[in-house]
Each structure stands twice: as C-alpha cells, then as structure tokens.
Homo-oligomer: A and B are copies of this chain.
Amino acid sequence: MLIGLFAHLSTFIFVTRAEEQILKDFGKRLRSIRLRKNFTQEKLAFTIGMEISQISRIERGIINTSLLNIIKIAETLEVLPGELFGERT
C-alpha cells in the first residue's frame, strides 16, 4: 500500500568528521552486539529483509541509516535501540 511518506534513496552527501565518527561508533556497537547475539551479517540482513551489503555499510559507518532500520535491527537483535546508541540499558 503506497503511503505518501517521505523516505529515502541513496546518494552521496557531505558529512563532518564528527558525524563520520558518530556513524563509525554506531557501526562498531552494532557489530559487537550482533556478534554477542551470534548473528552473522547474512542472518541479520535476511531476518530484517535488508541487503547484506547494507548491514556491512552500516557497520563500517558509511551509511546514515534510517529510524525504521534502527528499530528493525534492535528488535531482531533483541536489544533496546538505546544500546545501539551506546546507552547503558
């Protein structure tokens, strides 16, 4: 069902060094949580319905992923989204 939602297709943008570091830190946390939960990138991608390459790019900090993807990843790994942001939960 088409819902008139603004969402996104990918292209290149400028990001600051600080933003680049934020994305890299987020990606590192995702990777460590994923490994702790014994998920391969493939299993996580398949479960969510994402491309493996997308999970890989998020973990390498070269994707500014979306709200919905963050929630799907957190739900699949059975953690609160806050943990992906580095919060003690």
Contacts and interface: CB of A to CB of B under 8 A. Distances in A.
A33 interface: no
Interface residues of A, number: 40
Given A7-B10, A7-B63, 12 more contacts: A2-B14, A3-B20, A6-B64, A7-B11, A7-B12, A7-B15, A9-B11, A22-B67, A22-B68, A64-B68, A67-B70, A82-B82
Number of identical protomers: 2
Interface of A: 1-17, 19-20, 22-23, 26, 57, 62-68, 70-71, 74, 80-83, 85, 87, 89
A20 B3 CA distance: 8
Given A82-B81, A87-B89, A66 B5 contact: no
